[in-house]
Amino acid sequence: MKKTITLAQGNGGAENHALIKEIFWRHLGNEILDRGEDAAVLEALERPAFTTDSFTISPLFFPGGDIGKLSVCGTCNDLAMMGAQPRYLSLSVVIEEGFELRMLEKIVRSIKKELPHNDALIVSGDTKVVPRGTVDGLFITTSGIGERRCEGIGISQIQPGDAIVVSRDIGRHGAAIFAAREGMELESALESDCASLWPQVASLLEAGIKPHALRDATRGGLAAVLNEWAEANNLCIEVEEEEIPVSNEVRGICELLGFEPAFLANEGTFVLALDPADVPLALEILEAFPGGEEAMRIGEVKGDYPGKVVLNSPWGTRRFLDWPTGELLPRIC
């Protein structure tokens, strides 16, 4: 018989302690976590950055990752996008009664595997078990503290003339989740781009590149990042449709369902606004990472239509690339 999580394992008593010890501490243990205190006592960081994120995803396991990997990548990437090296994470897990213990262990192993890419540790955690039907399997919240390695990265630093670069092809996470969720029988090797981005950012900073802004294009995709940047600075970002890298698999799913690749989520793709002179070296550095051979300069910051993103087609027409809105639903015909 399958071993499943029971409400008793969230009671704060012996069963709860056993679950934490056998699953979480066993895989994620380190000097700070092992102390088992109410709060982690950390060494002081010089220029700290702090962030938090909750992860609810269906299905929990998808091609290219799972909720565990995602919960580490998501929070560490938010730190990396501020030029901060991820250091310490907290991990809060809400588990539905009846969840398979084997699956929980698989998720925790996946967390363990992703941490070293960021050089980060889980130093604090919490586990709750809730009655069946009150959550969809398992929810994770991770918070993270990082140490900034570069000053002056932020939305307000974007200026006219900046080049816009994407670190790899877009839309993979959203398309992979859609395909997995809807049981679309696609014969393709489409995987989520789910990955930690600190290694890329660290390499850029080490090479002396100082990006003006960085943003991982998660929910809302490339379109949301560009619109956020354009709106915040009242500048126009102009991108060339032909230069935006999209894999054939992602384009295929978009064609079938009437989506735009720029609206689909990514979990290991980021957008950079930087001095045009830095672009060749940045692309050379990004190319060394998985998927980075697709890294492209896709446009630049201008002033024509303040607060808007303009998309130029290969046949000379122009249109706005707007914010994605509402629930992504397939077109009817």
Partner 1 sequence: MNLTLKNLYDDFRDPKTIKALAELITQEAEKLDRPVNIMEVCGGHTHTIMKYGLKQLLPEKIRFIHGPGCPVCIMPKERIDHAYILAQQPDVILVTLGDMIKVPGSKGSLQQARSQGADVRFVYSPLDALKIARENPEKRVIFFAIGFETTTPMTAALIDRAEKLGVTNLLYHINHVTVPEVMRELIDSRDEHIDSYNNRIDAFIGPSHVSVIAGAKIYREFPERYGRPVVVSGFEPVDVMEGVLMLVRQFTQGRCELEIQYRRSVTMEGNLSAQRQIDKFFEKRELFKWRGLGNIPHSALKLREAYAHLDAEKVYGEQLPVEEIEDHKLCICGDILRGMAEPTECQVFGTACTPSKPLGSCMVSSEGACAAYYKYGDLLQRRSDR
User: For residues 36 and 326, which CB has a smaller minimum distance to partner 1 in the complex?
Assistant: 326
Q: Does 182 bind partner 1 (CB under 8 A)?
A: yes
Phi, psi of 90 (to 5 degrees): -105, 155
β-pairing, 61-62 vs 270-274, is unpaired
Instruction: Please report how close the Cβ of residue 184 comes to partner 1 at its closest, in angstroms.
Output: 8
What's the closest the beta carbon of residue 248 comes to partner 1, in angstroms? 5
Report d(CA 108, CA 24) in Å as an integer: 7
| Of 5 and 236, CB closest to partner 1 | 236
11 binds partner 1 (CB under 8 A): no
How many binding residues for partner 1 (CB under 8 A)?
Answer: 29
Question: What does each C-alpha distance from 106 to 133, 187, 278 come to in angstroms?
Answer: 22, 26, 41
Q: Which stretch binds partner 1 (CB under 8 A): 32-40, 97-105, 202-210, 247-255?
A: 247-255
What is d(CA 166, CA 247) in angstroms, rounded to the nearest whole number? 14
Q: Closest approach of Cβ 129 to partner 1, in Å?
A: 25
Our finding on whether 41 is near partner 1 (CB under 8 A) is no
Q: Point out which span in 62-70, 98-106, 286-294, 308-316 binds partner 1 (CB under 8 A).
A: 308-316
- Cβ neighbourhood burial of 237 (10 Å; 0-12, 13-18, 19+): buried
- Eight-class DSSP state of 130: E
Is 136 a binding residue for partner 1 by CB under 8 A? The answer is no
Examine residue 333 and tell whether it contacts partner 1 (CB under 8 A): yes
Q: Please, are residues 155 and 230 in contact by the beta-carbon 8 Å criterion? A: no
Q: How far apart are alpha carbons 148 and 82 in whole angstroms? A: 7
Query: Of 20, 32, 257, 281, which lies in the binding site for partner 1, with binding defined by CB under 8 A?
Result: 257
